[in-house]
């Protein structure tokens, strides 16, 4: 099935590994030209080469531009450079690492403000810089990488549970405001997808509870109705569909990729 992404121009942040990289690779495989971004230029260049080889595309299809999404100046420069390199932006994927795990009494004001900056303000700033570009070109799609915690809080992740829920509310409101401009907004919420972030969380839990890592992971997979962790590749393919013209009548929604874990309607 051709989902209509050939020739689209995309920016994916936090794309040097994990879910961001998987989305970038899926978009490239569907014919997009993609700017990938994270903090380290050297690593980005390696990833750009790796994706280009995997997808068998010519040099320049994957463009690495370093930026720290917790810094407004970096975001402004990133969007400016991405527009210059691509000649416009049709697709924006807002993605960032998660805040530290822990419980309420562990965190200071500085911790809370850092989480807001990482997982809310990065999205606000990226969208704010990109909207004028999309409006000038007649539309576009914005996809935020979130967490299933926006529907069902995850124990020991109070910062993520709180901030990502606020971000989802902002995006829901935004979607109604920009629908008239032919701009769609989707919040894609992963469950337990096998990434370095998940390995770190499982490892921390194993250490905290004095249990083998394998035992913790087996117990977590038993909670998933599908009986396993998801893969980044599965997540990337779903993101590509949601960003494609094949998804022509959905906006303002949170889509769960969780193997059935969340039980709410």
User: At CB < 8 A and 24+ separation, what contacts does 50-57 make?
Assistant: 51/21, 51/24, 51/25, 52/28, 54/25, 55/25, 55/28, 55/29, 57/28
Does the pLDDT value for residue 236 go beyond 80? Answer: yes
Name every residue whose Cβ is closer than 8 Å to that of residue 43 and which is 6 or more positions away in sequence: 16
Confidence band for 246, pLDDT divided at 50, 70 and 90: very high
| Per-residue pLDDT, 1 | 67
Across 107-120, average pLDDT: 98
pLDDT of residue 198: 85
Q: Which of 92, 71, 216 is nearest to 145 (CA)?
A: 92
Dist CA 143 CA 188 (whole Å): 7
pLDDT band at residue 197 under the 50/70/90 scheme = confident
Position 66 scores a pLDDT of: 98
**CB of 175 within 8 A of CB of 251?**
yes
What's the rounded mean pLDDT across residues 107-117?
98
Q: Is the pLDDT of residue 2 over 90?
A: no
d(CA 204, CA 183): 40
Please choose, from the candidates 188, 161, 162, the residue with its C-alpha nearest in 3D space to the C-alpha of residue 251. Answer: 188
Cα–Cα distance measured from residue 33 to residue 31, given in angstroms and rounded to the nearest whole number:
7
On the question of pLDDT at 204 being above 90, the answer is: no
Per the CB < 8 A criterion, the answer to whether 180 and 188 are in contact is: no
From CA 229, how far away is CA 235, in angstroms rounded?
A: 11
Domain edges within the chain: 9-193+231-256, 196-229
* pLDDT score recorded for residue 171: 98
9-193+231-256 maps to which CATH number? 3.40.50.720
Give me the pLDDT at residue 201, please. Answer: 83
Residue 254's contacts (CB-CB under 8 Å, 6 or more residues apart) are 146, 150, 151, 168, 172, 186, 187, 188, 189
Mean pLDDT rounded to a whole number for the chain: 96
pLDDT of residue 224: 96
* pLDDT above 90: residue 250: yes
């Amino acid at each position: 099935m051709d989902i209509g992404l050939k020739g689209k121009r995309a920016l994916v942040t936090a794309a040097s590994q994990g879910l961001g990289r998987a989305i970038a690779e899926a978009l490239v495989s569907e014919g997009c030209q993609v700017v990938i971004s994270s903090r380290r230029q050297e690593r980005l260049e390696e990833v750009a080469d790796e994706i280009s080889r995997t997808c068998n595309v010519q040099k320049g299809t994957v463009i690495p531009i370093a930026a720290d999404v917790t810094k407004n100046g970096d975001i402004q420069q990133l969007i400016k450079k991405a527009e210059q390199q691509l000649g416009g932006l049709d697709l924006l994927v807002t993605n960032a690492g998660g805040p530290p795990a822990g419980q309420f009494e562990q965190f200071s004001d500085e911790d809370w403000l850092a989480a807001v900056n990482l997982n809310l303000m990065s999205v606000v700033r990226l969208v704010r810089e990109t909207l004028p570009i999309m409006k000038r070109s007649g539309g576009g799609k914005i996809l935020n990488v979130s967490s299933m915690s926006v529907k069902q809080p995850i124990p020991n992740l109070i910062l993520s549970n709180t901030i990502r829920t606020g971000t989802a509310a902002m995006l829901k409101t935004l979607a109604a405001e920009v629908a008239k401009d032919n701009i769609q907004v989707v919040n894609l919420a992963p469950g337990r997808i096998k990434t370095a972030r998940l390995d770190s969380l499982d490892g921390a839990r194993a250490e905290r509870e004095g249990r083998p890592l394998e035992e913790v992971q087996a117990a977590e997979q038993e909670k998933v109705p599908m009986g396993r962790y998801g893969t980044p590749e599965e997540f990337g393919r779903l993101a590509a569909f949601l960003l494609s013209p094949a998804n022509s009548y959905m906006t303002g929604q949170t889509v769960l990729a969780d193997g059935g874990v969340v039980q709410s309607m």
